[in-house]
C-alpha cells in the first residue's frame, strides 16, 4: 500500500534548542569535527538514523541560525551536514533547507560531489529536495536542473505587496504564484510535475484571527490554495507540502494531537507531503475527533462572522481544557 504522505524529517534543524546546542558544540570542535568521533557527532548521526528508521522520505537540514552574522558559516556547515546525510542516511535523500540561495546551491553541489573518498560516501541515490524556491529566486535556482537532478519546494510568497483581503495574499494570489513557478519549472527548465512541491505556508492557529470583517483566515486560504492547485489538470502530479509544526505555536498543550488533526484535514484538500517529526506517524494515525473539529473550524473560516465565531468558541474551549494550572 502506498504511503499516504511524503514525509520530510524536520529534526536536523538548528532552531530546535537541543539540536542547535549540539550543532554549536560540534562546530566548536574544529574544521574536522564531522569526521572525528565525538558525542555531538554521535547525536547528529542518531538524528539522521532515527528518521530513516521512522520512514522519512527526505531528511531536512536547516542551519540558518548559524549564518545570521556570517552567511558563509552556514554554507560551509551545510556541505558537512549533507555529507553526513549521504553517509548515514541509508539512501534517504537530503532536503536542503535554507532561506539563502548560496546555502541551497552549496548543499546541492555537495550531494553530487563524489570526488572525496576519505568519507567513503555511498553512491548518490534518489535526487535531493531543495527548500525553497520563490518566484523572485527561481531564475537563480531552477537553471541548476541542467547540471544537478533535484526536486524543489516552491514557497508561495512574493516580494510584491499583497493585495488580498486583510493585507495578505488571497487564495487567487497564492495560486497565481504557483502557476508562475510551475510554468518556469516545467516548461522552461525541464522539471517533471512530480518534482515540484508547493508550500502555501502554515499560520499558527492560536493567532489566526482576521482583524477586519469579511477577511478569510490564513488556514482557510492555505487549504483552499492546495485544493485549487490539485484541481488544475495542467498541474497533475505536483505535490503540496506544509511545515506542519508551525500550526501549534503558542498553543497550551496537545501539540502532537493538533498537528495530527491539521495534517488529516489538509489531506482532505489534497496535501500529500509534510515537513514533520516523522516519529509521530502523521497521516497514518487517526486524529482525535475534537481536535479535528477544531482544525476544521479554521479551515471553514471564510470571512463570515458565523464561521469566525465558531472557531473562536472552539479555540477558547481548547485553551481552557489544556491550560496548565498555575503553581
* pLDDT at position 165 over 80: no
Mean of pLDDT values over 39-61: 98
Going by pLDDT thresholds of 50, 70 and 90, the confidence category of residue 21 is very high
Residues 243, 9 contacting (CB under 8 angstroms)? no
The residue behind cell 482544525 is 295
CA distance 226 to 103: 28
Q: Which fold has domain 1-126?
A: TIM Barrel (3.20.20)
CATH fold of 140-322? TIM Barrel (3.20.20)
Q: Residue 162: pLDDT above 90?
A: no
Beta bridge partners of 152: 130, 196
Contact predicate 244/6, CB 8 Å: no
Overall average pLDDT of the 46-62 stretch: 98
Same fold, 1-126 and 140-322: yes
In angstroms, the CA 217 to CA 219 distance is 5
Distance CA 251, CA 296 (A): 16
Confidence (pLDDT) at 118:
46
- C-alpha pair distances (Å), 134 with each of 185, 218, 226, 298: 11, 19, 17, 26
Residue 314 has pLDDT above 90, yes or no: yes
Q: Where are the domains of the chain?
A: 1-126, 140-322
What's the whole-number mean pLDDT along residues 287-302? 97
What pTM did the predictor assign? 0.94
pLDDT in tens, 82-137: 999 999 999 999 999 999 999 999 999 999 997 765 455 666 678 999 999 999 99
Check pLDDT > 90 for residue 159.
no
Q: Residue 326 pLDDT > 80, yes or no?
A: no
pLDDT at 266 over 80: yes
**Residue 200 phi, psi (nearest 5):** -90, 10
Residue with cell 554549536: 24
CA distances from 127 to 92, 109, 111, 180, 239 (A): 9, 12, 9, 23, 16
The mean pLDDT of the chain is 93
64 pLDDT exceeds 60?
A: yes
* pLDDT in the model for residue 1: 37
Look at 15-29, 51-65, 152-166 and tell me which has the smallest mean pLDDT: 152-166
Amino acid at each position: 500500500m502506498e504511503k499516504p504522505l511524503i514525509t520530510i524529517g524536520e529534526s536536523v534543524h538548528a532552531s530546535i534548542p537541543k539540536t542547535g546546542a549540539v550543532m554549536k558544540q560540534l562546530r566548536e570542535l574544529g574544521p574536522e569535527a564531522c569526521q572525528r568521533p565525538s558525542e555531538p557527532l554521535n547525536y547528529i548521526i542518531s538524528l539522521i538514523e532515527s528518521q530513516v528508521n521512522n520512514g522519512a522520505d527526505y531528511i531536512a537540514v536547516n542551519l540558518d541560525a548559524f549564518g545570521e552574522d556570517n552567511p558563509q558559516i552556514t554554507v560551509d556547515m551545510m556541505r558537512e551536514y549533507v555529507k553526513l546525510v549521504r553517509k548515514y542516511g541509508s539512501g534517504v535523500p537530503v532536503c536542503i533547507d535554507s532561506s539563502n540561495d548560496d546555502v541551497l546551491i552549496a548543499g546541492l553541489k555537495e550531494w553530487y560531489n563524489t570526488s572525496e573518498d576519505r568519507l567513503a560516501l555511498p553512491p548518490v541515490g534518489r535526487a535531493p529536495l531543495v527548500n525553497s524556491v520563490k518566484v523572485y529566486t527561481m531564475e537563480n535556482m531552477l537553471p541548476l536542473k541542467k547540471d544537478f537532478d533535484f526536486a524543489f519546494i516552491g514557497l508561495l510568497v512574493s516580494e510584491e505587496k499583497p493585495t488580498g483581503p486583510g493585507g495578505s495574499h488571497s487564495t487567487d494570489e497564492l495560486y497565481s504564484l504557483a502557476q508562475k513557478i510551475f510554468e518556469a519549472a516545467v516548461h522552461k527548465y525541464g522539471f517533471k510535475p512530480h518534482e515540484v512541491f508547493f508550500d502555501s505556508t502554515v499560520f499558527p492557529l492560536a493567532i489566526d484571527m482576521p482583524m477586519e470583517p469579511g477577511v478569510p483566515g490564513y488556514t482557510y486560504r492555505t487549504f483552499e490554495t492546495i485544493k485549487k492547485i490539485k484541481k488544475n489538470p495542467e498541474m497533475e502530479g505536483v505535490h503540496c507540502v506544509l511545515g506542519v509544526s508551525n500550526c501549534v505555536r503558542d498553543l497550551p498543550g496537545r501539540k502532537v494531537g493538533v498537528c495530527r488533526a491539521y495534517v488529516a484535514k489538509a489531506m482532505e484538500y489534497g496535501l500529500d507531503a509534510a515537513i514533520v517529526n516523522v516519529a509521530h506517524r502523521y497521516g497514518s494515525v487517526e486524529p482525535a475527533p475534537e481536535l479535528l473539529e477544531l482544525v476544521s473550524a479554521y479551515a471553514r473560516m471564510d470571512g463570515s462572522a458565523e464561521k469566525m465565531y465558531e472557531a473562536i468558541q472552539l479555540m477558547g474551549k481548547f485553551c481552557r481544557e489544556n491550560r496548565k494550572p498555575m503553581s
